[in-house]
Structure 1
Amino acid sequence: MPHNDPADGPGKRLLRRDLLAARNRMTPDDVRESADALARRTLGLPEVAGAHAVAAYVSVGAEPGTLALVDALRARGVRVLLPALLPDNDLDWGEYTGAGSLARVRHGGRMELFEPAGERLGPEAVTRADVVLLPGVAVDGRGLRLGRGGGSYDRVLARLEAAGARPALLVLLYDGEVVEHVPAEPHDRPVDAVVTPSGVRRFR
Structure 2
Amino acid sequence: MNGKGEQFNTDQSPLSSQLRVPQLVGGLTRHDSKDKWRSAVLGERATVSSATASDESGALTEHVVRAFARIAAHSPGGSLIAAYVPARSEPGSIAMLDGLAACRARVLLPVTAPGNTLDWALYDPDQPLVAARYGLQEPGGTRLGMDALSEAELIIVPALAVDRQGVRLGRGAGYYDRALAVSPLQCPVIAIVRDSEFVAELPESPHDRRVDGVITPDLGLIRLD
Instruction: Identify whether the pair has TM-score above 0.5, normalized to the shorter chain.
Output: yes
- Per the alignment, residue 86 of structure 2 pairs with 59
Shift of 1:88: 0.6
Partner in structure 2 of residue 172 of structure 1: 192
Per the alignment, residue 115 of structure 2 pairs with 88
> What residue identity is the alignment partner of 1:133?
I
1:183 aligns with 2:203: yes
Q: Distance in 1 between matches of 2:102 and 2:64?
A: 15
Q: Could you tell me which residue of structure 1 aligns to residue 167 of structure 2?
A: 144
Counterpart CA distance in 2 for 1:101 and 1:124 is 24
Instruction: Kindly indicate whether residue 217 of structure 2 is the aligned counterpart of residue 197 of structure 1.
Output: yes
Deviation at 1:202, TM superposition (A): 1.4
Equivalent AA in structure 1 for residue 157 of structure 2: L
- The residue number in structure 1 matching 2:95 is 68
Q: Which residue of 2 aligns with 1:77?
A: 104
- The structure having more radius of gyration, on CA atoms, is 2
Q: Which runs of 5+ in 1 are unaligned?
A: 1-8
Contact 2:166 2:224 in 1 (8 A): yes
Match of 1:19 among 34, 37, 41: 41
Greater relative CO, 1 or 2 (CA 8 Å, sep 6+)? 2
Q: Which residue number corresponds to residue 115 of structure 1? A: 138
Partners of 1:143 and 1:98 lie apart in 2 by 31
Q: Distance in 1 between matches of 2:139 and 2:185?
A: 23
Q: Distance in 2 between matches of 1:87 and 1:10?
A: 31
Letter of the aligned partner of 2:178 in structure 1? R
TM-score (norm: length of structure 2)? 0.79
Q: Matched residues in 2 for 1:33 and 1:174: separation?
A: 11
TM-score by length of 1: 0.87
In structure 2, do the counterparts of structure 1 residues 195 and 127 end up closer, same or farther at CA, with 3 Å as the change threshold?
Answer: same
CA separation in 2, counterparts of 1:101 and 1:125? 21
CA contact (8 A) 1:132 1:167 kept: yes
Tell me, yes or no, if the aligned pair for 2:69 and 2:103 is still in contact at 8 Å.
no
Which residue identity does 1:49 align to in structure 2? Answer: R
SS of residue paired to 2:54: helix
The percentage of counterpart residues that share the same residue type is 37
Describe the SS at the equivalent of 1:176. helix
Structure 1 counterpart of 2:130: 103
d(CA) in 2 for partners of 1:128, 1:66: 24
RMSD: 1.6
Question: How far did 1:177 drift?
Answer: 0.1
**1:53 deviation in Å?**
1.0
1:16 is aligned with what amino acid? R
Please list every run of 5 or more consecutive structure 2 residues that lacks an aligned counterpart in the other structure.
1-30, 73-78
The offset of 1:49, in angstroms, is: 2.5
1:127–1:165 CA contact under 8 A, matched in 2: no
List 4+ stretches of structure 1 deviating above 4 A: none
